[in-house]
Each structure stands twice: as structure tokens, then as C-alpha cells.
Chain A
Amino acid sequence: MYRYDEFDAEFVHSRVAQFRDQVVRRLDGRLSEAEFRPLRLMNGLYLQLHAYMLRVAVPYGTLRSDQLRMLAHLADKYDKGYGHVTTRQNMQFNWPVLSDVPEMLTDLASVDMHAIQTSGNCIRNVTCDPYAGAAADEIEDPRPMAELIRQWSMLHPEFAFLPRKFKIAVTASSQDRAMIKGHDIGIQVLRNEAGEVGYHIIVGGGLGRTPVIGQTLRAFLPKDDLLPYLEATMRVYNRFGRRDNKYKARIKILVRETGIEDFTRLVEDEFAALDPSDIAVGAAERARIATYFASPTFETGIKPLDMESQPEAFRKWVDTNVVAHAAPGYAIVNISLKDPERAPGDVTTEQMRAVADLADAHSFGELRFTHQQNMVLAHVRQDALRAVWDGLVAADLEDANINLIGDIICCPGMDFCALATARSIPVAQAIAERFDDHDRQQAIGEMQIKISGCINACGHHHVGHIGILGLEKAGVEFYQVTLGGDATQTAAIGDKMGAGFSQEELVDGIERIVDFYVGAREHDERFLDTYRRLGTEAFKEVLYASA
């Protein structure tokens, strides 16, 4: 894991001191709200529907156990005893008090954490495959590259006031677990025909009110060229991105209006005009950063557990939540934050500390937040899986529903968000409750339901196998459905079905769709495969059939 050097630490501490002074000046009136608002947003502090909200950055979703304990400490001391894992792999606190925030940031800085660039029209937290460094199918660990981008983008003077916010995601696997085609820039580490490792650069993806699947900007970029090429791309966006209309200001609109060929030419021209030596990072520096992400020393000769002698609930959990690791004898453990009674992504301080303890005991003191609002212990010995499960059971974190219908992505919706038009949490809970039976979930198979409480799409509904968008008209919430969305390497925007439903009608309609799929699928077809084979109309008819 990356550890701050003295420059990082000095910068973050000085930023906290600045913000402390800014809060004092706001409270005594020397700063007006108009003056203070951009300053608090630059430090991740929003004023939401009912209270302030602090969004803490978790770069590429990776954190140490002591950092998770610090998040638990913040939630206990300054908030209401829980945190919320976001779809950008960050953590939000829903109830901080303005005068406490400088202390919260001070505490965060003590463990190399901050809330910088979690808001505003800048390059936001880089998100990453949550299995990075552990996945059997990756070319190399993508986090050193993500860290390089973090260092480059942090307070970059040219890119602090972009036309709009800018999101980058990275992966090093052909199986996309970071939704790289749904980002302003997506980067995939890959090999070219000569066997060299470089980057596939995708541009112009995004969700929100205008969902777009990203397109290839460069099929193969040599490693040395990464930062100059990103700089060239950002310059083109900064120069030509629309600033006259907030809703047309994302790079996806620029790429669409310019056309990918012309946009690529603009980037390549800018890239050719740059002096790479200004910002290019060579192999030696990349290797230095990579040492922070060196694989732990994996032991050998680990015997797999005798599953036959284990309880059924444990075996089901292993089947659902545990995936293969690159190292023999190890496993990747997904910890579901999708208890049907809770908001998706919410985790209590007791649970955070339990996971931190498990990370220390069984996963080299490190863990991940996922964009699907779960957690991951990336390096667990297979013979320790039972001990991990026992710990999760004790912490009420043993839900066995990863990638199943109960594993719902959900934004905070109107329960917390100032932008929302409808609630999303109660919808997620109602669906999770309807499909609570594990065996039924398992029988349905891979299913991603994603719910957003407004068209800004923080719940990624456009790329849900079943997407749900909450809206409101004349004081009544209703929910529109999209089907066939896909967040992976076969990315697709879901098809809009039509008129919306009440919450109760919605859950019934989803159940009809799911039952129809189960009856219609051939062999091991996933929901997505059956949907693609049978087409929209077949599912639409079922969705709108009266119960």
C-alpha cells in the first residue's frame, strides 16, 4: 500500500490547517457562505438535504486496517456510528457538524487520509478493480498506475477548474470490474502483440442524464506516455469542453459532438506538441511506486479446507462470496454490505472494527471498498476462510449474495441527497426482502440491480441488468425501469421500458421479470444473455402484465 512521503504529509496537514482557518472565518462571519462554499466543497464537505455530509477519499478503494479503524473512530466521535461506502469507493458520513470537520480532517491526516478532490470540477478519486493485486486474470497490479495518476492530478494547476467533474477508472484485467467504459477516461492495462505492457485508453463514457459508453482513444499506449497523453486529453477537454451549460459540460458530450476521430486527432496533436520530459514518468519512478504495492509474501503448501465437514451456511457463503486468487492456496473474500434491513453500503463502526481485525489477522492488514458498495479482503489463506466467516457472522456481515439479486447498488436517494427526486433506499430494501431467500437468489444467478434516486445516476441504474430510476410527480414517487444494462467489458446502456411504477408495483414487476427469465433461460444463461436473446418486447410485456 502506498504510504505518504514527507511532501504528501506536509501538503495534507497544511490543507487541514487552511480549512480549519476557513471554518473559523466562516463561523465568525469573515467568510460569507458564497465565499466558503467552494472551499468546503474542495474539502469534500457538502450541505445535503438534512445536514452536512463529509466524503472521505479512499484512493483506488484500497485502505489499511488502521485507516478503517480511523473511519470508525470518526463515525463514533463525530457522526452517528456508521459510514456509507459509495460507488466511487469512498466513504461518506451523513451527519457531521461544521465545527467538527477540521478535527475530522486532522484525524484523517494522521493515517494518510483526506477528503480532497471528492467534490468539485476536478479530477476525482481514481477508482480501480477491487481485486487488484490478487486477481488471477490481471496483467499486473493497476494500483501503482492509479497512484501515479493520483499524484499527477492532485491539485494539478491546469485542471482544478475543469468544465465539469472528471472521473477515471483503471483495471488490469480483461474482465472489467471497474466499469471503465462508464467513465470520463477508462484505462485497461494490457499487452500488445509484441508482449509489451501498456494501456488501452477509453474516453467519453459516463452515466448521469446522458449515458454514454466510452470509446477507444488509443488502443495501445506505451507506459512512458501515460501522463503526457492524459495531460493532452485533459487539455483538449479543458479548452473545448462546454462551460455554458452544466448539463453538456462532461467530456462525453464533447467527444460525441466532436466525433471520436476528430477528438482523437485533437488529442494526438496536443500530445505531439507536448515535451514529454516535462511530465513523463520513467520506469525507475514507476518501479519505486510499485514497491509500495508489492505482493505480500504468500505461503505455499496451504491445504484447502475440507468443505464437506463445514456447515451448509458456510459452504453457501464460500460459493457466493469467495473467488479465486492468483496465488495457490489463497482466496479473495467479498464482504457483502447488503443486509436487506440496511441501506446498501452502510457499515457500522462495530463492523468496521471487526473487518479491520479480520484484515490484520488474515489479509495482511489491508482491505478494499468496491464500487458495488461492498468490501474485500484480497489475500486470505484458504484454510483461514472458516475463521473469517466466523468473524463475519459475529459482526452480522455474513450475507451470501455477492453478484446476486440481493447485491443491489443504491445511491442515498432522497433520504439524504439534496439532488434526489425520489427515495432509493426503501426500494432496495423492498426488493432485497422479496428475494431474501438465499436458495432463490442462487437459483436466479448473476443479477445486478442498480437504483438511482434521480437522473444524475449515482446508483449506476443505466448499467444495471435491471436499472431503476426514482422520480417524483405531483408529490408521488414513481420508478422507471431499464433492462439489459451492463457495467463490464461488454458494457451497454439499459433499454428504457416505459411508464413508471409505484414502489409496490415495481417490486411485483421485477419479480415477474425474474420469474419469466428463470422459466425462459436456456442452460446456464445469465439474465443478460436471456434478455439479449429474447429481446426487449418479451420482457416489457411481462413487466407490464397485471399481477
Chain B
Amino acid sequence: MSTLKHKGKGPQAMTANELVSGLSVWMTTDLNWSRDYADALLTEDETLIEKMDEIAKAAEQANTVVGAYFIDTVDAKPARYRERFRTHGPSYDTADLISES
């Protein structure tokens, strides 16, 4: 979880990991989940943020996702380096070399 450095200022996005695959997901504009950060809902609307929180908790209860938390964003990107990194996956994976060969 990256909540320790979460400031809660500016546009917020909700992220989690899928329970079964463990892959990173972000809450979308239609309040579902996507593995693509480009689909993420970024908002400063407090009412909407409250709703996102409720839906994330419900998704955890429904065992769809685990470890849901808000992240700060700046210029439509996650503010923290770690969170930016999560949006694009490893910069190196031996699996890519295997699939190329």
C-alpha cells in the first residue's frame, strides 16, 4: 500500500490489484476497473471521491480486488514515482525476450 505518502490533494485516482491475477487496476470513469491507467477516473469532486471509496470497499468485499487505495495525480499522471511505475509495468522482463525469440 502506498497510503503513507498520499496527500489527498489535487485530482485523485483509485487503484488496487485484482484478487485472482494480482495485476494492477484503476477505477474507470464508469466506476468499473481497468488494467489500463489511461482509462482511470481522475477527479477532485469530493462527492465522486466518496462514491469511489464506497465502490472500492464494495469491490474488496466482493473479492474482486484487494488493497484498494487513492493516489494523488499531477498532470494526469500519478504523483509518486512508484505509482507511475505501476502504470506501465516492469521496464525489463525476461518474458519479453522469450516472446521475441
- Which residues of A pack against B, CB within 8 Å? 26-29, 33, 47-52, 80-82, 94-99, 341-343, 346, 348, 414-416, 421, 423, 425-426, 429, 472, 475-477
- Contact partners of B62 in chain A: CB under 8 A: 29
B66 within 8 A of A: yes
A50 touches B89 (CB 8 A): yes
Most buried by A among B21, B63, B66, B94: B94
Given contacts A81-B94, A423-B91, 5 further A-B contacts (CB under 8 A): A47-B22, A50-B24, A51-B22, A80-B94, A341-B97
A50 touches B86 (CB 8 A): yes
Please, which residue of chain A has its CB at the minimum distance from the CB of B17?
A: A47
A50 touches B20 (CB 8 A): no
B4 within 8 A of A: no
Please, which residue of chain A has its CB at the minimum distance from the CB of B1?
A: A418
Docked complex Cα distance between A255 and B89 (Å): 41
Docked complex Cα distance between A49 and B60 (Å): 18
- Contact partners of B7 in chain A: CB under 8 A: none
B22 touches A80 (CB 8 A): no
Of B63, B91, B92, which is within 8 A of A27 by CB? B63
Docked complex Cα distance between A51 and B61 (Å): 20
A27 touches B19 (CB 8 A): yes
A47 touches B67 (CB 8 A): yes
Q: Bits for B8-41, please: 1 = Cβ < 8 Å to A, else 0.
A: 0000000001011111100000000000000000
- Contact partners of A421 in chain B: CB under 8 A: 82
Docked complex Cα distance between A525 and B62 (Å): 63
A33 touches B67 (CB 8 A): yes
- Contact partners of B84 in chain A: CB under 8 A: 475
- Contact partners of B81 in chain A: CB under 8 A: 472, 475-477
Docked complex Cα distance between A346 and B94 (Å): 7
A98 touches B20 (CB 8 A): yes
Of A50, A343, A472, A476, which is within 8 A of B92 by CB? A343
B21 touches A49 (CB 8 A): no
A52 touches B22 (CB 8 A): yes
B20 touches A99 (CB 8 A): yes
A342 touches B91 (CB 8 A): no
Docked complex Cα distance between A472 and B2 (Å): 15
Of A29, A95, A414, which is within 8 A of B95 by CB? A95
Please, which residue of chain B has its CB at the minimum distance from the CB of A396?
A: B101
Min CB gap B82→A, angstroms: 7
B94 touches A348 (CB 8 A): yes
Docked complex Cα distance between A96 and B63 (Å): 18
- Contact partners of B82 in chain A: CB under 8 A: 49, 414, 421, 472
Min CB gap A339→B, angstroms: 10
Min CB gap A274→B, angstroms: 42
Docked complex Cα distance between A95 and B18 (Å): 13
B66 touches A47 (CB 8 A): yes
Docked complex Cα distance between A512 and B89 (Å): 33
Please, which residue of chain A has its CB at the minimum distance from the CB of B77?
A: A475
- Contact partners of A475 in chain B: CB under 8 A: 80-81, 84
- Contact partners of B63 in chain A: CB under 8 A: 26-29
Docked complex Cα distance between A348 and B85 (Å): 25
Min CB gap A19→B, angstroms: 16
- Contact partners of A342 in chain B: CB under 8 A: 94, 97
- Contact partners of B91 in chain A: CB under 8 A: 415, 423, 425-426
Q: Bits for B51-80, please: 1 = Cβ < 8 Å to A, else 0.
A: 000000000111100110000000000001
Q: A28-B63, A29-B63, A33-B60 are in contact. Are A415 and B93 (CB under 8 A)?
A: yes
- Contact partners of A426 in chain B: CB under 8 A: 91-92
Cross-chain pairs A/B with CB under 8 angstroms, 27 sampled: A26-B19, A26-B63, A28-B63, A29-B63, A33-B19, A33-B66, A47-B22, A48-B22, A49-B24, A49-B85, A49-B86, A50-B24, A50-B90, A51-B22, A52-B21, A80-B93, A80-B94, A80-B95, A80-B98, A94-B93, A341-B97, A343-B94, A346-B94, A426-B91, A429-B92, A472-B82, A475-B84
Min CB gap B89→A, angstroms: 6
B20 touches A97 (CB 8 A): yes
- Contact partners of A425 in chain B: CB under 8 A: 91-92
Docked complex Cα distance between A82 and B101 (Å): 13
- Contact partners of A81 in chain B: CB under 8 A: 94-95, 98
- Contact partners of A26 in chain B: CB under 8 A: 19, 63
B90 touches A415 (CB 8 A): yes
- Contact partners of A48 in chain B: CB under 8 A: 22
- Contact partners of B97 in chain A: CB under 8 A: 341-342
Please, which residue of chain A has its CB at the minimum distance from the CB of B61?
A: A29
A98 touches B98 (CB 8 A): no
